[in-house]
Structure 1
Amino acid sequence: MNPLPILMKNSIVLLFCTALAFNSYAQSNKKMITAVNGNKTSSTTLDAKIDSILRAVNMPGLSIAIVNDSEIVYHNTFGVINTETKKPVTKRTLFEGASLSKPIFAYFVMRMVEKGILDLDKPLHEYLPHSGIAETSKEEYKLITARMVLSHQTGFPNHAEGSDIKLAFTPGTDFMYSGEAFQYLAIVIGELNDIGYKSDLNALFQKEVTRPLRMSHSTFVWDDYLAEHKSFGHNKDGKPTQKHPSQGGWWNGKTFNAFSSLHSEAKEYAQFLVALLQQEGLKNETFSEMFKEHTHFKDDNPLKKQIGQTGWGLGMAQKPTKYGTMHMHTGNNHDFQSYMMILPKKEFGIVFFTNSNKALPFIQGFNTVIENIF
């Protein structure tokens, strides 16, 4: 797994341009998509254009949704779940969300903070010592808090892969993207609730997040619905790779992997975007904490130099625009890729999931379509 803050650097820029083009409304019961400059196209035309891009870039399948005025105004699916069987993607098809797991996990963490179960600034080792810290980092790691985890300031590597963890810097002083730190926090939350970090933690997540937000089938662990409706992933040659955890190798289906094991689809995940935009499920001051910049990138940070991102909030990257701050995340499990973003000042959001590594050429084509239409 490589959850993509850097590998899709060009795609982020292009999709950002795409996303800013959208503003939807209904007229005479016909959905229209309106660009910022006022030009319009129908949702049926957009459907046809997206379908043509999928064919041009050989993308197997796609689920995509657009939020405008803090409501879902567009949702459609395209392509197939398996290029060999040709079974079509439907609106029930689920995808690996990869690192789109992180923003919604951050929302779950903030639910725990509001309930008084977790203190955002209490060192995590006071809740549960980490057993895999290298000897040279055993004192400094004690500085790590949940706030540092959610804003990637721990100094943990992205993935330790069984090795002892040596911190790259003193926690709280720099930025290093880390799924490993997210999993430590998930285990702490499981410990605080006396439920571990498998199906019981997923059940708590669903109680606190997905059920209230009407995300009926989104899950971090394997279940019967997922077994029936999950898409196959596809490799760079367009060949199906895996569907069941026993075929994938990176996840056993039983553990709540806070950094990568969310399975969802565009409409359900768009309900989460709506919650962020409408500030649903958390206090206003909690959302302010999530959207505030907690990590400010140095000038030599690759994300700042190549994409224009300037920092990280609690769970999402941030990029300044003339339409306000964009909060965003990407996901990359190689044979599944995904993307989400919101512009709170515009009450706008977009999310897509694909069962391939074709996100970048799709975004490039999508951006061309927007330029041609709008």
Structure 2
Amino acid sequence: MSENNLPISSALNKEQRRKKLLIGLAGIVGIAGVSAAAYWLVYSSHFVATDNAYAAVEIAQVTPSVGGTIGEVLVTDTQAVKAGDILVRIDPTDARLALAQAEADLGRATRRVKGFVANDGSLGAQIAARDADEKRAAAQLGSAEADFERARIDLKRREALAASGSVSGDELTRAQNAFASAQGNLAAARAAAEQAKANRSTALSTREANAVLIAGSEESNPEIALARARRDQAAVDLERTVVRAPVDGVVAKRQVQLGQRVQAGMPLLAIVPIQQMHVDANFKEVQLEKVRVGQPVKLHADIYGSGVTYHGTVEGFSGGSGAAFSAIPAQNATGNWIKVVQRLPVRVKLDAKELEANPLKVGLSMQAEIDTRSQN
């Protein structure tokens, strides 16, 4: 009996050990699951991450403000430059000639206005002379009127006496001639008086017109101001023949060549301000529920690997998804439609010191993780 019971007891022991192992394994799996859930609820659920992120920056396009022939190119692609450094020189010959012409025009305008000022005194003297002429003509008119009245009375008397034969025909004729002469002199005196008055009015109008030309100070005179503005514009155009870097950065996309004829606004090259680099991280729309501006971000660049960590902050959100701004936007108003989770670009500002220590280039791949625990 004892020999037959041994196999049965051994089998029971093995079954019990197996159950214990299974229970222990289940316990371990349960503990691991609870731990993972707790880790997710307490920590991991507060972070969102993406590897669809790229370094970006607002590139400065360098274009000339004036046209001309390229006389010198001082930079090449990949060269670092500082704001104010000379990049390109345009042949200044045309600009110098334009400046010289503008300065000559300014001098001519200044002399012309000074002539107007000097002419004002002459016009004043002319008005005084015309006043005297008008007074003289008025006196002559008065004299002619007196002579005419005397000749008229004299003729009237002679005509009355001629009827009675007291006055000879010759004397009557002389009286008639004197009356006709006095009448002509009166008409001439009246015309002279009108002419003197008109001459005075003309002189006054001329002086008033000249006064308008010299109104205000010489510096504020419109003619001089216009010539000065053209001179200043020509000076600015001459200065703009030297094209300088607008920002610190690295030269890229250089297209300009020595001897090339360029027009104002034509692209010459670009400057990438790498010290102002930021990251555009494209998160899925379902990840952005708790993301707010100002939240901290940790980033890694593929070029440096996980050994270099950048720290940044969420600076803002794009106004639309990438699909909305694509060259050919998706047309979802169709019968066969499949929902696609969209991505929204999130702009991340980088720490300037970290960026200086480990510079980035436009378009480099990044990995971004946002800590959403801070709800600003």
TM-score band by shorter chain is under 0.3
TM-score, length-scaled by structure 2 = 0.19
Larger Rg: 2
